[in-house]
Chain A
Amino acid sequence: MDGNVYKNKIYKKSENIIARTIENELILVPVSADIADLDASLFSLNQTGIEIWNRLDGKRVLNEIVQEFDENFDAHKDVIMKDVCGIIQELLKHGIIEKVE
């Protein structure tokens, strides 16, 4: 699996993830062999992570998502790019998202 992040690529949520909002955090539960293992591998996203997660619709390239953040949030574009790429890399590493080929 390619762990690099490409700004001109599209990323989408893995089909093997169940997401649920609990106490203002998004809990991500990976499912393997038809079992959701709440004991071994749970992840949570904070508010910023959730904003990025909601935009991973499998249609927008990463650059578009960064552009959207730049227009809607008060932060330097470099910081936004770094945060977005960082979260994408983490999500890729844990198999929570996939690159659309």
Chain B
Amino acid sequence: MVLLKRLSNLDSNLQISNLNLKDLITAVFKNDKKVRFKTYGHSMSPFIKDGDIVTLKPYSAHSLIKPGDIAAVNRGNKKIIVHRITRIDGEKILLKGDNCIEFDGHFIKENIMGIITNIERNGKKLRSSRVTNLIIACLSGSGLLTSHILPFLRHMKSKKEAFARHV
């Protein structure tokens, strides 16, 4: 009889839902530890892609957060959302996915569960700087990121791939 089961994939063996992930993260944060997990979805692409692994550190009222930071926020409907802080308005943050047209809206800082400290892709840590994150936040907040910059980058990428196929 199998009493102990190793879970190799967070959402396959137990079909752990977003609620359960939030539950696990909460349990880890209560012990004041960081948590590392795989992300799913495209709302933060290309900065966080589907399958990237992120490390999250717990947020507290004493934590310093800045526009550009990527936060895991308790959305209140049993979901967590991992998007970028584009602006801080007093006790509220304005959140938006880098690949999203619409803002998620304002959330009070109390709803922040944690802040991303690390993004890994294919076993490598992605480099980022505070300045880069701030620039992305500004471009995202203005709408330029989704309206012009990302489409341009995707266009250039497909051109490059087409060229590589013909070489």
Cβ 8 A contact of B2, one of A29, A42, A46: A46
> Interface extent on A, as a size class?
20 to 34
Instruction: Provide the bound-state CA to CA distance between A88 and B13, in Å.
Output: 22
- Provide the residues of chain B in CB contact with A5, threshold 8 Å: none
CB of B4 within 8 A of CB of A18, answer no
Where the two chains meet, the residues of B that have a C-beta atom closer than 8 Å to any C-beta of A are: 1-7, 10, 13-14, 16, 20-21, 23-24, 27-28, 31, 33-38, 53, 55
Is A57 among interface residues, defined by CB-CB distance under 8 A? Answer: no
CB of B3 within 8 A of CB of A35, answer no
Q: What is the minimal beta-carbon distance from A94 to any residue of chain B, in angstroms?
A: 8
CB of B10 within 8 A of CB of A48, answer no
Is A1 among interface residues, defined by CB-CB distance under 8 A? Answer: no
| Known contacts A37-B37, A38-B37; 9 further A-B pairs (Cβ under 8 A) | A18-B31, A35-B33, A35-B55, A36-B24, A36-B34, A38-B35, A39-B37, A41-B6, A49-B4
- Provide the residues of chain B in CB contact with A38, threshold 8 Å: 10, 21, 24, 35-38
- Provide the residues of chain A in CB contact with B24, threshold 8 Å: 20, 22, 27, 29, 36, 38
